[in-house]
Copies of this chain bind each other. A is one copy, B any other.
Amino acid sequence: MGKRKVKKAAGTPIQTPCARCPLRRLPTFRKFTPEEVEFIAAFKSGELRLEAGNTIFSEGTNSPHLYTVLSGWTFKYKALEDGRRQIVNYALPGDFIGLQASILDSIGHSIEALSDVVLCVFPREKLWPLFERHAGLAFDVTWLAAREENILGDYLVSIGRRTAAERVAFILLNLFQRARQSGLTRGNTVDFPFTQEHLADTAGFSLVHTNKTLKRLRASGLFKWNAASFEMVDEERMTEFVGLATPDEVVRPFL
By a beta-carbon cutoff of 8 Å, the part of chain A in contact with chain B is 76, 78, 80-81, 84-86, 88, 99-100, 103-104, 108-109, 128, 131-132, 135, 138-139, 141-143, 145-150, 152-157, 159-162, 201, 203-204, 243
- When chains A and B are docked, how far (Å) is the Cα of A147 from the Cα of B153? 14
The interface residues of chain A, by DSSP majority, are classed as helix
Given A88-B156, A160-B204, 7 more pairs with CB closer than 8 A: A78-B153, A80-B161, A80-B243, A104-B143, A108-B153, A132-B135, A160-B201
Across the interface, name the chain B residue whose C-beta is closest to A104: B146
Residues on B with beta carbons closer than 8 Å to the beta carbon of A156: 78, 86, 88, 152, 155-156, 159
Q: Which residues of B contact A76 (CB under 8 A)?
A: 153
Count of this chain's copies in the oligomeric assembly: 2
Chain B residue at minimal CB-CB distance from A84 = B161
Are A143 and B103 within 8 A (Cβ)? yes
When chains A and B are docked, how far (Å) is the Cα of A161 from the Cα of B204? Answer: 6
Looking at the assembled complex, report how far the CB atom of A85 sits from the nearest CB atom of chain B, in whole angstroms: 7
Q: Taking CB as reference atom, which chain B residue is nearest A99?
A: B146
Complex Cα gap A153–B87 (Å): 9
Contact check, A153 vs B152: say whether CB atoms are below 8 A apart: yes
Question: Max chain B CB contacts within 10 Å: which of A104, A132, A160?
Answer: A160
| A159 and B204 form a contact (CB under 8 A) | yes
User: Nearest-CB distance from A245 to chain B (Å)?
Assistant: 8
